[in-house]
Amino acid sequence: MLVLFGAFGLLDRIIRPGVRWFFRRKANSAIEELNTRLHLRIQPFKTTRRQTLIDQLLLDPHIVKAVEQHVGEAGIPRDVAMAKAERYAREIVPAFNAYAYTGIGTRLSRWVSTFLYRVRLGDRDAEALSSIDPEATVVFVMNHRSNVDYLLVTYLASASATLSYAVGEWARIWLLQNLIRAMGAYFIRRESGNILYRRVLARYVAMASRSGVTQAIFPEGGLSPDGLLRAPKFGLLSYMISDFDPEEHRDVVFVPVGVNYDRVLEDRVLLSAGDQNIGQRTFQFGFLEVSRFVLKLMLLWVQGRFYRYGYACASFGKPVSLTDWSKQHRIDFAGQNEKRLFANVEKFGSDLMERVGQAVPVLPVALVATLFEEAGSSGLGILELRSKVYHLLQELEHAGAHIHLPRSDMDYAVSTGLRMLTMRRVVEEDAGHYSIVPDQIDLIAYYANSIRHLRDN
């Protein structure tokens, strides 16, 4: 027993603190090295110990007031209400680890993205992006096409920033949630009506924004079941800007990001789910289904029969400074009543989403699918298809769309889109004439919808 207690004391008092010191020192060195090459530096808030952040959040005057209000409304003891607030804080607050982000996260993002797709960086205003104040809080605002969005944008932005995502409950899976938290992401209950929970979430997002943490949000809230841009929700956005004062707070710069794919991995699942909310845990992919899909891909790769799923592309629009926008539109976000504040947030958010929609890149499958949908059951010949694609490209260019033509060759883009659809048996050929397989009309519409808003403008 003496030997056992002695070993435990040695482990607790000497070995464990030494190991913790060693890894903390290595992590700090990694962060210092990262900050020398990142345009948007990792802010101290992000590297603060998780328990310290939780304590800071719980001692925030807004949270103390929310707890007191909850005590009065629910008729429960204050310590019980405080315990609930702490549980929510532990659920939300991430545990950023530089090794996990750079050593695992970005490498995994790059490998998965390039294994599945031909990844391309679309249009971007390099001069405007490089001129962003390094001390500003930068928020990437994106449309949500696939769960691969997290990996794709993490990979493409890894040279200039480390992103903190708001992740839905679907990802709260054993081990996966630990990795997600270590990458600096935080979990949110998108449909929660619990006022105390919303207050804790709001204060964490506000604290992170005021401290300069680079973030990425999906205002649509979930994946689109039909390929169209969904009506945005401005909850997270309101938490970031609700008390913004340009005289007191650092500027918040929003970067519109549009993503698109020649093939969305979840397309058939989304179509079968219809109008239901894919973001909820009810519709998360099961472990067995994901494992089966990965094993199938690896088997095809080993056999030399695996073909990547076409192109995946992200375009970055012109950054929007909240300070400049509020001055231009003569709008204040601080000191407003709830109704007025909501109207201001909605106006700003709608402007942002228009910019996001404009940044969505046009890819080969979307081009071809649009024309097949217009042709309906009559189908198209290859020469007619090329002619129509030419006119469609002129229309989209006139609308200011971001178009990605592989190899800058229209004919190659047409053949690429057509090949993707015929390989998936969505379109069939008969003596040089192509038509939609009757039970695949919804899938054709799904990909045509990804650029429909560009034509509606």
pLDDT, tens digit, 9 for 90 and up, residues 135-192: 899 999 999 999 999 999 999 998 888 899 988 877 777 777 888 888 889 988 877 7
Say if CB 353 and CB 142 are below 8 A apart: no
User: For residue 29, what is the enclosing H or E element?
Assistant: helix 16-37
* Axis crossing angle, helix 61-74 with helix 78-92, rounded to the nearest 10: 130
Query: Does the structure show a pLDDT above 60 at 282?
Result: no
Residue 249: what residue type? H
Say if CB 161 and CB 40 are below 8 A apart: yes
Distance CA 319, CA 254 (A): 6
Place of tokens 């903390």: 24
Joined tokens for residue 18:
């030494």
Distance CA 407, CA 401 (A): 18
Q: Give percent of the chain above pLDDT 70.
A: 90
User: For residue 253, what is the enclosing H or E element?
Assistant: strand 252-261
Residue 201: what residue type? L
Joined tokens for residue 430:
């008969």
pLDDT tens digit string along 287-340?
566 667 778 778 877 877 778 899 999 999 999 999 999 999 998 888 778 888
Distance CA 228, CA 292 (A): 29
Query: Does the structure show a pLDDT above 60 at 21?
Result: no
Residue 283: pLDDT band (50, 70, 90) is: very low
User: For residue 393, what is the enclosing H or E element?
Assistant: helix 382-398
Distance CA 219, CA 356 (A): 10
Residue 15: pLDDT band (50, 70, 90) is: low
Strand-strand pairing, 320-321 and 137-142: unpaired
Distance CA 330, CA 222 (A): 32
Residue 373: pLDDT band (50, 70, 90) is: very high
Q: Which of 70-79, 266-275, 344-353 has the lowest mean pLDDT?
A: 266-275
3-state secondary structure of 260: strand
pTM of the model: 0.88
Of the CA atoms within 13 Å of residue 123, those in its CB half-sphere come to: 18
**215 φ, ψ (degrees, to nearest 5):** -125, 165
3-state secondary structure of 192: coil
φ/ψ region of 70 (left if φ > 0, alpha if ψ in -120 to 50, else beta) reads alpha
Residues in the chain: 457
Say if CB 88 and CB 175 are below 8 A apart: no
Distance CA 139, CA 216 (A): 5
